[in-house]
Amino acid sequence: MNLKTLGEFGLIDLIKQGTIVEPNGLELGIGDDAAAFWPEPGRLQLLTADMLVETVHFDLKWISPWQLGYKSLAVNISDIAAMGGRPRQAAVSLSLPQTSSVEFVVELYEGMKSIGREYGVNIIGGDTVSSPGPIVINVTLTGDVVPERMIRRSGACPGDLVLVTGCLGDSAAGLAWLLTENPVEQAPHLISAHLTPKPQVSLGQAAAAAGATAMDDVSDGLASEANEIANASQVGIIIYADKIPLSSELQCFASRNGQDCLDYALYGGEDYQLLFTMPPQAAQCFLQLEIAGSCRVIGEVCSERQVTLIANDGSKVAIKPKGYNHFR
């Protein structure tokens, strides 16, 4: 049986079996954006890891080494944000072809240090090995969180509203642009959404403080992440197509290419916005905060266990988790 039979998420379920051998202060293991454990009573520590592989996650034809460094840390910071946490210390492991230049590595670290300064993350270790093939960058990141304010994927309740922190689909459209067009000047917003995403740490903490019940960052597309929250919470989600925030740049790009913006938002991925649920009263208060200016309600949680999209014409379609999957 090869990995495609299981798919990425089936494989992770298999890997998960028997991995916890001691309680060791563990609070939350495999299955969320980050793991959480108690290093000492009263303090909750977060841990996450995400890897970027040349040709799978990036192509040096269009991402600069600085941007690659920035994005490598950004995607990890986003998982800490999705727990309502604060990112702290990173370990960076590199696998590099022997022909890589010193300048490449220096610029890569300039990008990582730059986002590190923005979000208060130190690089405190790592590993460096040669690669017979692609460049591989693995980041392991710690974070911390006020114990009562850690937001899992599993807390959504029927009646909660579903919110998102910004526009969806821009990153995937940026990638599509880079793949097909190229004059960078003409889609700067889409391209920067793809190359240098901004993790929503402050909003993650604000949503947690305001009473978010479940949260996830959008790495694989809205369809996939909504299904992750629905499955973990054993609920269903209804999303209204006309409420999904779509940037004007995305709308121009999609209409010029005869494409549907919604496909980018639902299945594109790499947005690194936060998708979260909140009871209606809490959401009403939260949306009045200045920091929540970019947040929108896009749907609601229901008890019927499926993710449904209400299209602009009122028709209902079940949304399958067919976002990015490494083994499909």
Ligand X SMILES: Cc1ncc(C[n+]2csc(CCOP(=O)(O)O)c2C)c(N)n1
Which residue in the set 54, 144, 160, 220 belongs to the binding site for Mg ion (CB under 5 A)? 220
Which residue in the set 36, 52, 58, 79 belongs to the binding site for ligand ATP (CB under 6 A)? 79
- Known binding site for substrate: residues? 57, 270, 324
Q: Which two tokens stand for residue 25?
A: 């202060």
270 binds, among ligand ATP, ligand X, Mg ion, none (CB under 5 to 8 A by kind): ligand X
What is each CA distance from 325 to 11, 69, 262, 265, in whole angstroms? 11, 23, 18, 16
C-alpha span between 118 and 105 (Å, rounded): 20
Nearer to ligand ATP, 6 or 287 (CB): 6
Of 134, 115, 116, residue with least CA distance to 124? 116
Which residue in the set 59, 110, 127, 242 belongs to the binding site for ligand X (CB under 6 A)? 59
First to last CA, the chain: 14
271 contributes a contact to Mg ion by CB under 5 A: no
**Bridge partners for 35 per DSSP:** 47
Place of tokens 């240090």: 113
Which residue in the set 79, 160, 170, 300 belongs to the binding site for Mg ion (CB under 5 A)? 79
324 contributes a contact to ligand X by CB under 6 A: yes
CB-based burial, 161-194: b 16+ in 10 Å, e otherwise = bbbbbbbbbbbbbbbbbbeeeeeeeebebbbbbb
Binding mask 161-190 for ligand X (x = CB under 6 A): --------------x---------------
Place of tokens 């499926």: 306
Nearer to Mg ion, 157 or 232 (CB): 232
Q: Which distant-in-sequence residues (6+ apart) come within 8 Å of 79 by Cβ?
A: 33, 34, 48, 50, 141, 217
- Cβ 173 vs Cβ 190: under 8 Å: yes
* Window 245-274: residues binding ligand X (CB under 6 A): 269-270
Nearer to ligand X, 175 or 208 (CB): 175
Which residue in the set 95, 171, 213, 219 belongs to the binding site for ligand ATP (CB under 6 A)? 219
59 binds, among Mg ion, ligand ATP, ligand X, none (CB under 5 to 8 A by kind): ligand X
Determine the interface stretch with ligand ATP among 25-33, 203-211, 234-242, 288-296 (rule: CB under 6 A): 25-33
Q: DSSP labels for 142-155?
A: EEEE-GGG---SS-
- Known binding site for ATP: residues? 109, 126-127, 153, 219
225 contributes a contact to ligand ATP by CB under 6 A: no
Nearer to ligand ATP, 75 or 301 (CB): 75
If you ran DSSP here, which 8-state letter would residue 242 be given?
G
Nearer to ligand X, 119 or 267 (CB): 267
Which residues contribute to the site for ligand ATP (CB under 6 A)? 12, 15, 30-33, 50, 75, 79, 219-220
